[in-house]
Amino acid sequence: MKKPEIEIARLSRALQDKTGKFLTLGAIESATGGSIADRITNVAGSSDYFMGAVVSYSNSIKSDVAGVSEATLLLHGAVSAEVASQMATGGKRVLKVDICVSTTGIAGPGGATVDKPVGLFYIGLSTASGVIANRYIFSGKREEIKRKAVETALALVKEYLQKCLDETAGAVLEEKHVVTCFLEQSKLILLLRRSGRVSTYKRAWAGVSGYIETDALDQAITEIREETGLFNNNIKLVRQGKQLEVIDKSLHRKWIVHPFLFHVLDPQKIMLDWEHTEFTWVKPKELKKYKTVPGLAEALKTVLD
């Protein structure tokens, strides 16, 4: 059986592959003394998703840093479901993470009471779904009890990530048809830089583009007129490329791109609208030097080959 920290790494990357982003993770530890953070960071690449941890060993740190109310500490004691919940919730806020796990317990050999024996632990988990705090009784000596608490805390994180991954399995990508128009003259391609006012891919370089609302060619000509000020008599259709699919996991969207290549007869008449801030003419092989919208190079290839 693989260690839970290895599974956390695998599931985190699987979710990133599905959604385009990592779910970030943090820990607020008391009785486990930083062992959860140590285990997670023993995995290479854990900095992609693990943001950090706080060892709130004293009540003052639980209160001042983790955000546990003093009233809760007085009423329920440091080892309680209420404190574990507030530790996880406060840690999620302080560490600015998507998931925060917390631990508070009695590792022994001292510190026990009639109601709270050695081995009693509460482990909290705060996520987008809410917060939970589970009660456990672990047996063994101090080090063994702490190890079992860490294993259980890591298992809770792993189970939550697995649940998130399972929920993405049946999700359907939103499908949008768009035109991407490349304008050329003197063997150079026009690139336009998207403004900060557009809804997607702000400040990325692109061709002329837009959602298809009519015939694809008619839409291409309309977008060119609106975005560059060029009319039918200023351009000439050279080629329509084969449509291609571009998956953007961060938007949970599938773009169906309809590429076109037009020759520009009057480049001096280009006048940008609000969707772009600047333009430049580049050689096709220079495209890789620019931060572009997804799939732009592939779309260009379909009209140049």
pLDDT in tens, 214-226: 899 999 999 999 9
pLDDT in tens, 132-151: 999 999 999 999 999 999 99
pLDDT at 141: 97
pLDDT at 207: 98
Mean pLDDT across the stretch 240-253? 89
Read off the pLDDT band of 21 (50, 70, 90): confident
Domains defined along the chain, listed by start: 4-169 (3.90.950.20), 174-304 (3.90.79.10)
Query: Do residues 19 and 173 make contact, with C-beta atoms less than 8 angstroms apart?
Result: no
Mean pLDDT across the stretch 244-271? 93
Beta strands in the chain (DSSP E): 25-29, 50-55, 99-105, 120-127, 130-137, 174-185, 188-194, 205-206, 208-211, 235-240, 244-248, 253-264, 276-282
Highest mean pLDDT among 40-49, 107-116, 248-257: 40-49
Q: Which two tokens stand for residue 123?
A: 């482990």
Read off the pLDDT band of 173 (50, 70, 90): confident
Cα dist. 106→6, 73, 122 in Å? 27, 15, 10
pLDDT at 169: 74
- 58: left (phi > 0), else alpha (psi -120 to 50), else beta? beta
pLDDT at 221: 97
Q: Which two tokens stand for residue 181?
A: 């128009």
Alpha carbon distance 97, 23 (integer Å): 8
pLDDT in tens, 22-73: 999 999 999 999 999 999 999 999 999 999 999 999 999 999 999 999 999 9
DSSP summary character for residue 286? G
pLDDT at 53: 98
pLDDT at 16: 87
Share of the chain above pLDDT 70, in %: 99
Of 157, 163, 75, 77, nearest to 123 by C-alpha is 157
Q: Is 261 exposed, middle or buried (0-12, 13-18, 19+ CB in 10 A)?
A: buried
Of 202, 244, 228, 221, nearest to 281 by C-alpha is 228
> What is the number of alpha carbons within 13 Å of residue 189 lying toward its C-beta?
25
pLDDT in tens, 184-199: 999 999 999 999 999 8
Longest dimension (CA), the chain: 90
Of 91, 153, 100, 162, nearest to 127 by C-alpha is 100
pTM attached to this predicted model = 0.63
DSSP summary character for residue 56? -
pLDDT at 1: 77
